[in-house]
Amino acid sequence: MTGAREERTTSAVRPYVITGGRSGAPRAELPWETLVMATRPAEAATAPGGVRLQPEHRRILAECQGLLSVAEAAAHLGQPPSVVQVLLADLIDWGLVKARPPVPVAERADVTMLRKVLHGLESRL
């Protein structure tokens, strides 16, 4: 043993306490690839009714000053994505965070159409 004290990277507070016992977001669950961005700085943000935000809410706002995915926000906070999804749902409901849904998976291009385009281009050469 080295005697050097290891720094704790995750919160000692249980996820159950952080989310107030909620295990799912009240709105449709946010996929991990959803992009989120704070609408105002963490210092100026307050919940409706002037309620003080939890420290975790403030950390999310501080991290999300640019576009960030739900998974990235969870990694920066050192919390499980399910906990961050609940907290982000709160912030979205309060208007403190905007969410951009993930881009749907593109459909496969029609190979016959691509061949026709290629044939047309070759005929012009």
**Residue range 44-69, pLDDT digits in tens:** 677 777 777 888 888 889 988 889 99
What's the pLDDT band for 119 if we cut at 50, 70, 90? Answer: very high
| Burial (CB count within 10 angstroms: exposed 0-12, middle 13-18, buried 19+), residue 99 | middle
75/43: higher pLDDT: 75
Domain assignment present for 114: yes
Please check the confidence at residue 27 and state whether its pLDDT lies above 80: no
26/93: higher pLDDT: 93
Domain assignment present for 79: yes
Q: How many CA atoms lie within 13 A of 118 on its CB side?
A: 6
What's phi and psi for 95, nearest 5 deg?
80, 15
6 vs 95: CA distance, rounded Å: 38
The count of domains in the chain is 1
29: number of Cβ within 10 Å? 14
90 vs 96: CA distance, rounded Å: 9
Q: Say what the pLDDT of residue 10 is.
A: 52
Domain assignment present for 44: yes
Which residues constitute the domain of residue 45?
Answer: 15-124
- Closest C-alpha among 11, 18, 100, 8 to residue 57: 18
What's the pLDDT band for 75 if we cut at 50, 70, 90? Answer: very high
Q: Say what the pLDDT of residue 28 is.
A: 61
95 vs 106: CA distance, rounded Å: 30
Domain assignment present for 6: no
Q: Is the pTM value of this prediction over 0.75?
A: no
70/52: higher pLDDT: 70
Domain assignment present for 56: yes
Domain assignment present for 9: no
Domain assignment present for 2: no
CA 42 to chain centre: 16
3-state secondary structure of 99: strand
Q: Say what the pLDDT of residue 109 is.
A: 72
Highest mean pLDDT among 6-10, 63-67, 100-104: 63-67
Domain assignment present for 10: no
On whether the CB atoms of residues 92 and 99 are closer than 8 A, the answer is: yes
CATH number at residue 80: 1.10.10.10
